[in-house]
Amino acid sequence: MRTSNYDKSPSTAVDGNAVSGWREILQVLSHALSDAPVWAVDLYVGSYEEDFLEAFRPMGREVVDVRQLLRPEAELRQLTERFMTDDVLFGYMSNIRIGEYFIPERIEALQQRIASGEHLIVIGTGAGYVTPDDVPVVYADLARWEIQQRFRRHEVKALGIDNRGDSPSVQYKRGYFNDWNICDALKDDLFAAGRIRFWIDHNERQTPKLITHAQLVQGLERTVSRPFRVVPFFDPAPWGGQWMKEVCDLDRSEANYGWCFDCVPEENSLLLDVGGTLVELPSQDLVLWQPRRLLGERVWSRFGRSFPIRFDFLDTMGGGNLSLQVHPTNEFAHREFGLAYTQDESYYLLDAGPDAVVYLGLKEGIDRHQMIEDLRAAQRGERPFDAEKYVNKLPAHKHDHYLIPNGTIHCSGHDSMVLEISSTPSIFTFKLWDWNRLGLDGKPRPINVERGRHVIQWERTTPFVLRELCNHFEVLSRAEGEMEERTGLHPNEFIETRRHTFSRPVSHDTCGGVNVLNLCEGDEAVVESPTGAFTPFTVHYAETFIIPAAIGRYTITPPAGKTCMTIKASIRP
């Protein structure tokens, strides 16, 4: 195993200074908004609402708690019931908007008070909605990864609903299918209307930070004008391994790390270095407000403001098998969950032990009905599922690439370090068998045999797997010090992947679409613009980096006398 100078806190420099701490924040706001009789402090769901109410009460204005304008919790549960469903993991993408959460008469009464000249601070999720268009907004933003940590500690409520007693998976489900969509739509409306004057980063509870709207915009514009990385986050898993501890320099005292979300902009965050202070905001903000420069016109036209490529790590080095699983077909995902597309994916092996394997596709001649009955019996705890009776078990080696179009049974085995390259939907995995183990909470993880059986593509047996899914490499060009290979993905998938092995500078072109790359061999490399359009950008081993579509041509240069390798993903035209 190798070590690396993997950067866990990549950032974009922004001019000026940030303000830290409530006392300093309130001093700045008091001066900057002194002419405004009413302020709106809008909170992304998952915020510590009481912290904000307590912080702003000494300002000498009456504080209005937006929660007092909401419809009763019972009504809100009824409103969202059909989208939440009774499943522990899966709901249906909601089309509810923030206005449906409020009692109109209470909004009208508040606006009458504002019209009469009262000096107020309106605080809470939806504060920008319930106040008139001329009221300035201070927006408190929050990264989804931090929200998930608060879910696990049962600290924060959902939008209008106290669900702190629910399991973290149920809390996440409400956020994913309902609350986050509502908050993103409102935040987007406030941004487009030019109402947001300041942004508060309160990911660190004890150290809130304030920047101006102009600084945020500058940070987004600078980020999308150069190669960049989002902030990776790491998480343990029941099957987790030890590789990332060393390569990514993580806490050695933890039992394991199984996951790293290294490029999932809907989940990750961005760091802005504002005068030496790191301000953290959701990377989804970049997708919302710089979509054409980031994604490119044709990708934006196809996917809208959704980042369609996901890179993450699955570490089983010294760990166990992932769950045996299958992803829904596009048709099923759209019908059952309201998704625009499903999770096609692939496994690229960054590293592998001598006994590493991948489970992929079905064996020839199996009895599908008996397989489902055996999975059901395993789900009931009657007997273990004999995976090798039904599923291909293939040896896996470093730099192998296995393609996994939706509907294909699969899982990575132990002693593998997988770079998972996939489309973005993040929770749409139907676990079929979890090797008789418990989750980190000591409870069995949810199994979805009944959903899985509807999407398994039974014709994907051994000949299909060997012919179309295993190491489907094609040399596209070869010259001294450079080789480009097409590695997939499968024709059913919309992501194209190319691998470059090089000991001299290599030229690339975004061709009008976003590129996502990982330095999968070599200590470091430098990304440069042939026209000097951006400052040279250094990437290190195992780091994933994004090349915005607007960059166009760029080069990647290895250290003198060294050979590097990148894997690059883009959206097929």
φ, ψ dihedrals at 546, nearest 5°: -110, 135
* In a domain? residue 139: yes
The answer to whether residue 457 scores a pLDDT higher than 70 is: yes
Q: For 61-110, what is each residue's pLDDT tens digit? A: 999 999 999 999 999 999 999 999 988 889 999 999 999 999 999 999 99
Taking the C-alpha atoms of residue 201 and residue 188, their distance in angstroms, rounded to an integer, is: 17
The answer to whether residue 270 scores a pLDDT higher than 70 is: yes
| Sign of torsion over alpha carbons 183, 186, 191, 192 | positive
Number of domains in the chain: 2
* In a domain? residue 424: no
Q: For 243-260, what is each residue's pLDDT tens digit? A: 999 999 999 999 999 999
HEC letters along 29-68: HHHHCCCCCEEEEEECCCCCHHHHHHHHHHHCCEEEEHHH
Identify the band that residue 2 occupies on the pLDDT scale cut at 50, 70 and 90. Answer: low
What residues pair up with 555 in beta bridges, in sequence order? 507, 528
pLDDT score of 488: 78
Cis upstream peptide for 489 (omega within 30°): yes
Single pTM value for the model = 0.96
Q: For 394-415, what is each residue's pLDDT tens digit? A: 999 999 999 999 999 999 999 9
Q: In the chain, count H helices and then E strands.
A: 18, 31
pLDDT score of 425: 66
Count CA atoms closer than 13 A to 449's CA, side-chain side.
16
The CATH number assigned to the domain holding 536 equals 2.60.120.10
DSSP states of 463-528 as a string?
HHHHHHTB---EEEEEETTEEEEEEE--TTSSEEEEEEEESS-EEEE-TTS-EEEEEEESSEEEEE
* In a domain? residue 297: no
Q: For 513-540, what is each residue's pLDDT tens digit? A: 999 999 999 999 999 999 999 999 999 9
Q: Say if residues 280 and 143 touch (Cβ distance below 8 Å).
A: yes
| Average pLDDT score over residue span 274-293 | 97
φ, ψ dihedrals at 78, nearest 5°: -65, -40
Residue 548 belongs to what domain range?
A: 474-571
* In a domain? residue 291: no
| Average pLDDT score over residue span 311-340 | 93
DSSP states of 138-207 as a string?
EEEE--HHHHHHHHHTT---BTTB--TTS-HHHHHHHIIIIIHHHHHHHHHHHHHTT-EEEEEE-SSTT-
* In a domain? residue 528: yes
pLDDT score of 83: 96
The CATH number assigned to the domain holding 85 equals 3.40.50
pLDDT score of 152: 96
* In a domain? residue 551: yes
pLDDT score of 333: 86
Q: Is 551 helix (H, G, I), strand (E, B) or coil?
A: helix
For the chain, report the end-to-end CA distance as a whole number of angstroms. 38
Q: Is 126 helix (H, G, I), strand (E, B) or coil?
A: coil
pLDDT score of 67: 98
Percent of the chain at pLDDT above 70? 99
| Average pLDDT score over residue span 28-49 | 97
Q: Mark which of 179, 198, 223 sits at the end of a domain.
A: 223
Q: Say if residues 129 and 182 touch (Cβ distance below 8 Å).
A: no
Taking the C-alpha atoms of residue 78 and residue 84, their distance in angstroms, rounded to an integer, is: 10
pLDDT score of 445: 84
pLDDT score of 1: 53
Identify the helix (H) or strand (E) that includes residue 128: helix 127-130
Q: Mark which of 223, 242, 258 sits at the end of a domain.
A: 223
* In a domain? residue 322: no
* In a domain? residue 300: no
Q: For 162-219, what is each residue's pLDDT tens digit? A: 999 999 999 999 999 999 999 999 999 999 999 999 999 999 999 999 999 999 999 9
Question: Strand 120-123 relative to strand 62-65: parallel, antiparallel, unpaired?
Answer: parallel
What residues pair up with 517 in beta bridges, in sequence order? 545, 568
Q: Mark which of 223, 239, 258 sits at the end of a domain.
A: 223
